[in-house]
A = this chain, B = another copy of it.
Amino acid sequence: MTESITAPQTGPTTEHATGTPAVPEPRHGDGHEAAMLLERARAAVDPVLRAALGSLPAPLRRIALYHFGWEHADGSPAGGGTGKAIRPALVLAAASATGGPAARAAAVRAAAAVELVHNFTLLHDDVMDRDPTRRHRPTVWTVFGDTDAILAGDALQALALRLLAEDPHPAGRAAAARLADCVVELCAGQHADTAMERCSPGDVTLAETLAMAESKTGALLGCACAIGALYADADDADVAAMDAFGRAAGLAFQLIDDVIGIWGDPLRTGKPAGADLAARKKSLPVVAALTSGTPAAAELAALYAAPHRKEDLEHIARTVERAGGRDWAQAQAADRMARAMQEVARAVPDPEAAGGLLTLAEFVTRRST
């Protein structure tokens, strides 16, 4: 089933979610359409982002431009690597789906604000997690130091909320409140993640792991979609449905990402298969396996407690699979995607209007890097 989730999609289909573990195929989701949506979002928000970063005092601007991939560490121009603009694209697609082109145009500033918040959390997470690379470049803390990475992140959060505070659109205020709430949830998710990293594997429950993934990954995707709907003046129920759509799609993405982190193709993912196992990460399939109550679960616990040997990785991966971790993650991903489709259908009954959202949901759960 991984094949059907991660292989490039060959074309649109009219099949809908049925509650079976099969991943629903959105009507509008081919890779080309997703790429176009992301490119259009990038083109719309980049001028706003560049203006926002350009307003920073010089030393902070330099750090931020490096992080966004627009400058090298020495301040010379660089040509990109700014990420896929999935979150801005979701803001714009949600605005478009619920309010048409006018709402989409009105939401560009908010889309940039969401992208700024995403990048603020990346800057800080990389400091806390000591991650050395991000988008194939050395992370800010490795180049400029922890202090500059923390300060640049702080400034990006402020820029995001200032963009919304200065937005003359009536939705700006509610969007700012929602984005600030989301920041708190992202912080709680990162807190849970780092706390769980310190736990022994037997002390982590599946419910905790799912809640952490929803806070860390689902919350901002949900917030992006909800903010888009706010700019379309959607009612509370539709805003909530958009939020639920983004959260469900975000969790599906995380589940697929975790599957790829264990069994994925290194040529596609850019990281060696088994990297998450080598790092003893308590990813969703692993925790599902550890808490499965099967004989393979006990075996896996012993393997996770043993010192790291590279030749064990394939054996650990097979053990996770025998304990049901892989099947569980794939079924969960399918369930979340089905839920996402239901939420879209609730808020946007016209399938034509919902197309962009479905395309992006399909894209994030198929992305491989």
Residues on A close to B: CB < 8 A?
55-57, 59-60, 120, 124, 127-128, 146-148, 150-155, 157-159, 161-162, 164-166, 172-174, 176-177, 180-181, 183-185, 187-188, 190-192, 194-195
A147 contacts B180, CB within 8 Å? Answer: no
Nearest chain B CB to A293's CB is how many angstroms away? 28
Nearest chain B CB to A211's CB is how many angstroms away? 10
Of the residues B150, B164, B177, contact of A150 by C-beta under 8 Å: B150
A154 contacts B151, CB within 8 Å? Answer: no
> 30 A-B pairs, CB-CB below 8 angstroms?
A56-B184, A56-B188, A59-B188, A124-B154, A127-B150, A128-B146, A128-B151, A147-B190, A147-B191, A150-B150, A152-B187, A153-B154, A154-B157, A154-B187, A155-B187, A155-B188, A158-B161, A158-B180, A159-B180, A159-B184, A161-B176, A161-B180, A162-B176, A162-B177, A162-B180, A162-B181, A165-B173, A165-B174, A165-B177, A166-B177
Residues of B within 8 A of A155 (CB): 183-184, 187-188
Beyond known contacts A56-B188, A154-B154: 16 more, CB 8 A cutoff: A59-B188, A59-B192, A120-B154, A124-B151, A124-B154, A128-B147, A151-B187, A155-B184, A158-B180, A159-B180, A161-B161, A161-B180, A162-B184, A164-B165, A165-B173, A173-B173
Residues of B within 8 A of A192 (CB): 59
Question: A184 vs B183: C-alpha distance in the bound complex, in angstroms?
Answer: 17
Of the residues B55, B166, B190, contact of A151 by C-beta under 8 Å: B190
State how many copies of this chain the complex holds. 2
Of the residues B120, B181, B191, contact of A59 by C-beta under 8 Å: B191
B158 contacts A183, CB within 8 Å? Answer: yes
Q: Which residue of B lies closest to A150 (CB)?
A: B124
B187 contacts A176, CB within 8 Å? Answer: no
Q: Which residue of B lies closest to A181 (CB)?
A: B162
B165 contacts A176, CB within 8 Å? Answer: yes
Residues of B within 8 A of A162 (CB): 176-177, 180-181, 184
B165 contacts A195, CB within 8 Å? Answer: no
* Known contacts A162-B181, A173-B165: A191-B148 contact under CB 8 Å: yes
Nearest chain B CB to A191's CB is how many angstroms away? 5
B165 contacts A184, CB within 8 Å? Answer: no
Most B CB contacts (10 A, CB to CB) among A57, A161, A181 go to: A161
Residues of B within 8 A of A164 (CB): 165
A195 contacts B59, CB within 8 Å? Answer: yes
* Known contacts A59-B191, A162-B180, A177-B165: A128-B150 contact under CB 8 Å: yes
Nearest 4 CB-CB pairings of A with B: A162-B180, A165-B176, A158-B183, A57-B188
Most B CB contacts (10 A, CB to CB) among A174, A176, A181 go to: A176
Most B CB contacts (10 A, CB to CB) among A146, A148, A158, A188 go to: A158
Nearest chain B CB to A153's CB is how many angstroms away? 8
Residues of B within 8 A of A188 (CB): 56-57, 59-60, 155
Question: A263 vs B108: C-alpha distance in the bound complex, in angstroms?
Answer: 55
Nearest chain B CB to A208's CB is how many angstroms away? 12
Nearest chain B CB to A61's CB is how many angstroms away? 10
Question: A184 vs B61: C-alpha distance in the bound complex, in angstroms?
Answer: 11
